[in-house]
């Protein structure tokens, strides 16, 4: 099967760096709506086949992001909470540096094998991986070996699941390269045996990666938002 993981479009929380992970979540802003529409063109430019299934999380921003694909391919999305974002628990909607670093470092610990650790009031890495794996398995059953399914989800869970399920997604790639808003990450295969072809709308082999990276840290872009770093003129 062809599996496409699509991140939702931009929201106001993306602009502030807030940990917006709970239902129903922030809606798309105007730029996010534009990104969702543009993703249809990206789909065609990447030469992806028509999907037979569109799945979203329970968060409203994924519903809005899926709408242009629903219209283009005459499909009705299926909502599945197993595709929800990595939960922030007690850190929900926090945007301070300590909270953001704790969230990111926890995901990094999962990627390095410590999947039982959790943030207060949230799921463990093992629990999150299991629920997203169920969504993927259900999609595979629905479309079959020759079909195509798209799951509209969230940046952190796409990053985590992709690394844990495809040898082409190295730790350094997952840790340092963005899962951009409304981007498409594409896999070929079957549950338990996926091969990544595209990361964030670019072929995996086109990304230049420093494979010496061994730690997941907040991106400079995210830190700029959290710390209010002024942009250069």
pLDDT, one tens digit per residue, over 64-110 is: 999 999 999 999 999 999 999 999 999 999 999 999 999 999 999 99
Residue 222 tokens read as: 């995210």
pLDDT at 225: 54
Tokens 């990544």, located at residue: 196
Please say if the pLDDT value at position 146 is more than 90: yes
Residues 51 and 65: their CA atoms lie apart, in Å, by 15
Under the banding of pLDDT at 50, 70 and 90, the label for residue 216 is confident
Is domain 2-227 in CATH 3.40.50.10330, yes or no? no
Domain boundaries, the chain: 2-227
Residues 39 and 10: their CA atoms lie apart, in Å, by 12
DSSP state, 96? S
Nearest alpha-carbon partner for 145 in 78, 194, 203, 76: 194
Buried b (16+ CB within 10 A) or exposed e, 52-77: bbbbbbbbbbbbbbbbbbeebbebeb
């Amino acid at each position: 099967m062809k599996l496409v993981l699509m991140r939702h479009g931009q929201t106001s929380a993306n602009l502030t760096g807030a940990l917006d992970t709970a239902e129903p979540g922030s809606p798309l802003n105007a730029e996010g709506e534009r990104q969702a529409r543009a993703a249809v063109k990206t789909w065609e430019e990447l030469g992806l086949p028509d999907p037979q299934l569109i799945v979203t999380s329970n968060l409203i921003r994924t519903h809005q992001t899926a709408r242009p694909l629903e219209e283009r391919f005459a499909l009705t999305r299926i909502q599945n909470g197993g595709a929800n974002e990595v939960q922030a628990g007690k850190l929900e909607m926090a945007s301070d540096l300590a909270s953001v670093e704790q969230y990111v470092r926890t995901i990094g610990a999962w990627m390095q094998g410590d999947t039982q650790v959790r943030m207060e009031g949230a799921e463990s890495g093992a629990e999150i991986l299991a629920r997203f794996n169920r969504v993927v398995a259900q999609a595979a059953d629905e479309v079959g070996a020759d079909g195509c399914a798209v799951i509209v989800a969230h940046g952190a869970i796409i990053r985590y699941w992709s690394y844990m399920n495809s040898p082409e997604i190295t730790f350094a790639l997952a840790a340092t390269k963005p899962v951009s808003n409304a981007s498409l990450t594409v896999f070929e295969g079957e549950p338990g045996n996926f091969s990544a072809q595209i990361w964030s709308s670019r072929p995996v082999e086109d990304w230049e990666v420093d494979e010496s990276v061994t730690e997941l840290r907040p991106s400079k872009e995210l830190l700029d938002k959290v710390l209010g770093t002024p942009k250069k003129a």
